[in-house]
Amino acid sequence: MKAMVLYDIAPIETSPLRYESVPDPVPAAGEVRLKVSCCAICRTDLHVIEGELPRQRLPIIPGHQVVGTVDALGPGCRRLQIGTRVGVAWLRHTCGACPYCLRGRENLCESSRFTGYHESGGYAEYAVVPEDFAYRIPDNFDDLSAAPLLCAGIIGYRALQRSNLQPGDKLALYGFGSSAHVVLQIALHRGCEVYVVTRGENHRQLARDMGAAWVGERAEDMPVLADSAIIFAPAGELIPPALRKLEKGGTLALAGIYMSDVPAMDYEHHLFHEKNIRSVTANTRADGRDLLAEAAAIPIRPHITTYPLHDANRALQDLKADRIAGTGVLVMRPEA
């Protein structure tokens, strides 16, 4: 099969992913193999490639927003069948027996393993995943529309839960990439007002077009205090101004897997009046199932930009430079 392979961490500007022929993966016991249709790109892929996350397995095939059709079953598989359309997300294994797993908090399992990080992912024509960690894709999503939901959507959904947003509340979003543009649609469907702070004009225009109540470049200019807020940008310096623009008793969720250092804060101005800061760590499978169900009911319509598989380096360079409005999606198709 053709795949984009990472052999060593390096800046994405150096195009470190190699387009190569590699052996087709074979599903082990309890695993299914997908013939991949497409795979959305994610800022977490950049964190893996550029070494902002601790180095794990190398070489590795990145990608953890994978959509495809089951074409092979490993021994013991019973839930899925050949031909079932499924998605693969970041979380791909937990122990199932630790206190976190037993309390419904498997996202905190010490034995967690992740797609495109510990095991090869979806920047390839075929991928394998444990059957229990594959998601059935609702029929009202085509493959391209489903792919961004499998991390951007799921993590955005968990961040929304962690932000304690209630129907009719005011929500502030910091950064308007793939996750935020999904969250905005969910929040609007719940009757909320959404305020967006983001630095790129193409992102600001997309937020306006999608129905944000206000869009700007600086938190200080936001005309209201928010009841809930989510920071998607991996920028710790956004935390103090986001807290200043939060109502008493409000909650700020930090959605990134990586964030730069947080500057010193003043207790009275940033944290007093029972303001809450809540981090977000990966997701549970229940998050994935719930997000897909709500996204199908709304329905969510992701904004996507497609790239052929062999252009994964360029796609990620565009992501890093904020040139993509919405989500970039790699499509498994022959080279032109």
List of domains in the chain? 2-149+282-331 (3.90.180.10), 154-279 (3.40.50.720)
Give the Cα separation of 49 and 6 in Å (integer): 7
Kindly report, residue by residue over 96-131, the tens digit of the pLDDT: 999 999 999 999 999 999 999 999 999 999 999 999
Q: What is the pLDDT of residue 319?
A: 95
Kindly report, residue by residue over 170-190, the tens digit of the pLDDT: 999 999 999 999 999 999 999
Cα maximum dimension of the chain: 59
Q: What is the pLDDT of residue 336?
A: 34
Give the Cα separation of 15 and 6 in Å (integer): 10
Kindly report, residue by residue over 55-99, the tens digit of the pLDDT: 999 999 999 999 999 999 999 999 999 999 999 999 999 999 999
pTM equals 0.91
Cβ atoms < 10 Å from Cβ of 202:
14
Burial environment of residue 110 by CB neighbours within 10 A (0 to 12, 13 to 18, 19 or more): exposed
**Backbone angles phi and psi of 3, in degrees to 5:** -155, 160
Q: What is the pLDDT of residue 14?
A: 98
User: Do residues 254 and 239 make contact, with C-beta atoms less than 8 angstroms apart?
Assistant: yes
User: Looking at the DSSP assignment, which residues form a beta bridge with residue 196?
Assistant: 173, 215
**Nearest residue to 180 via CA among 209, 166, 164, 159:** 159
User: Do residues 198 and 207 make contact, with C-beta atoms less than 8 angstroms apart?
Assistant: yes
Give the Cα separation of 28 and 272 in Å (integer): 53
